[in-house]
Structures are given as C-alpha cells and as structure tokens.
Amino acid sequence: MELFIDSADIDEVRKAARLGVITGCTTNPKLAASAEPGDFRKRVEEILAVIDGPVSVEVVDETVAGMLAEAAEYASWDDRVVVKIPMCLEGLEVIHKLEREQDVRVNVTCMMNSNQTAMAMMAGATYVSLFVGRITDMGYDADVTIAETAQLIEHGGFKARIIAGSMRGVGDIQRSFLAGAHIVTTPYKLLPAMIHHPRTVETIAEFKSAWDEARKSGSVG
C-alpha cells in the first residue's frame, strides 16, 4: 500500500515529501500546465530530487512514432521516470514496445473500466491508473472497477500495480485502498485532510492544557 503525490508543483511535492508517507509522484499535462511556468525537464528533475520513487510523466502526441519519441526523451532523464501512456489503440502498441523491447516502465492512464486495464496489462504495463473521481462522476462504482482489476491481476498473473487517481476526497482514498488499489495518487490538499479529526484536535488541546495547568500550579516540575 503506497501513496503518491499527484502534482507537478514542486512546492507541493516538497511539502508532501516531508511528511514521510509519499513514495512516488504522478504528473499529467494538465497539472504541468497549471504549475509554475518554466522548463519542464528542470521541474521533473526537481521532483526527482525530492521523491525517492517513480515519477510519472505523460506523453501528449497521438501517434505511435510521436509517443515513442516523447517516451524516449522522458526515459532518458532518469531511471525513475515512468512514462504515462493514455489508453488508446496507438497507446497499446506503444506500451508493448516500451515495456517489452525498450525496458521502459509504463503507467497506462485515463482508464475507466476493467476491459481497459485488462488490455493495458496484456500489453505489459507496469502500472494501470484508474480515474476514481471521473468513474464516479459517470455514475459507476469505482470500487468495483478496482476490485475487478485486482482479480484480473491474480487470474492473469500480471505484474501490474493498480494506481487509483482522480481523488476528490479522503473517502475516495480510503475506499480505493480497501477495494485493492496498490497505490493511491492524491493531490496535496487531501494529505492534511487524511489525518484531520476534530476529536483528535480537541484531545491534544485537552492534554496540553492539563499539562500547562499542572506546571503553573507547580504539581509537575
């Protein structure tokens, strides 16, 4: 069970990394476009410097040749760069080539059901990303999709690891792990929310005030 940070914003990635619970990072073109402007390679290198694990970087070209060229560029930046390939027919061809012929790790992205994850895994994907928030938006049960993919991994003997992404709230994180996701990738804002509980805050304050009172009255030195 692992947590990744879903961000291309280096300040958020740094804050998340300091918490000691983050073992990887996922970016996408929309996240990269909304982060601080600047050289993309430099930004990915900054992320790699603070995250110990894999960092996913997504291709945007829609042709097989174009995706392979982008993938080769990203993969040359660092061994920990995982190339994100969107689920489509051209993508399947690219996944197979990268994983089986070029020894490049692939995260297949933008997936909404277990037919897609099955195809990605048969093509050789290391990571399969299910977009929980978007699946839920369409009225489907993302837990079922995650559980089906976990079952396919077992049944097909695949090496793939399930990444649950598109997190909208802490309930999504909780349910995704319980449904069988190996990894949840989350925006930074859900990390403080994961540990917040008003009774915890109250209890900490109650203990501190009892201690402060006792110090003041001299009953503890």
- Smallest gap, in angstroms, from Cβ of residue 142 to ligand E4P? 11
Q: Considering only residues 6, 9, 70, 99, which one is a binding residue for ligand E4P as defined by CB under 6 A? A: 6
* Residues in 41-100 that interact with ligand E4P by CB under 6 A: none
* Residues in 103-122 that interact with ligand E4P by CB under 6 A: 109
Q: Give the residue closest to ligand E4P by C-beta.
A: 165
Residues with Cβ within 8 Å of residue 49, at least 6 apart in sequence: none
**Residue 165, burial from CB neighbour count under 10 angstroms (0-12, 13-18, 19+):** buried
For position 145 contacting ligand E4P by CB under 6 A, the verdict is no
- Smallest gap, in angstroms, from Cβ of residue 164 to ligand E4P? 8
B/e letters for 105-143, b = 16+ CB within 10 Å, e = fewer, are: bbbbbbbbbbebbbbbbebbbbbbbbbbebbbeeeeebb
For position 172 contacting ligand E4P by CB under 6 A, the verdict is no
Q: Which residues are catalytic?
A: 84
Of residues 141 and 154, the one with the C-beta less far from ligand E4P = 141
3-state DSSP assignment of residue 82: strand
- Smallest gap, in angstroms, from Cβ of residue 17 to ligand E4P? 17
The upper half-sphere exposure of residue 117, i.e. CA atoms within 13 Å in the direction of its Cβ, equals 29
For position 29 contacting ligand E4P by CB under 6 A, the verdict is no
Counting residues that bind ligand E4P (by CB under 6 A) gives 11
Does residue 98 contact residue 107 with C-beta atoms inside 8 Å? no
Cα–Cα distance, 32 to 141 (Å, whole number): 29
Which positions lie near ligand E4P, rule CB under 6 A? 6, 26, 28, 109, 129, 131, 133-134, 165-166, 185
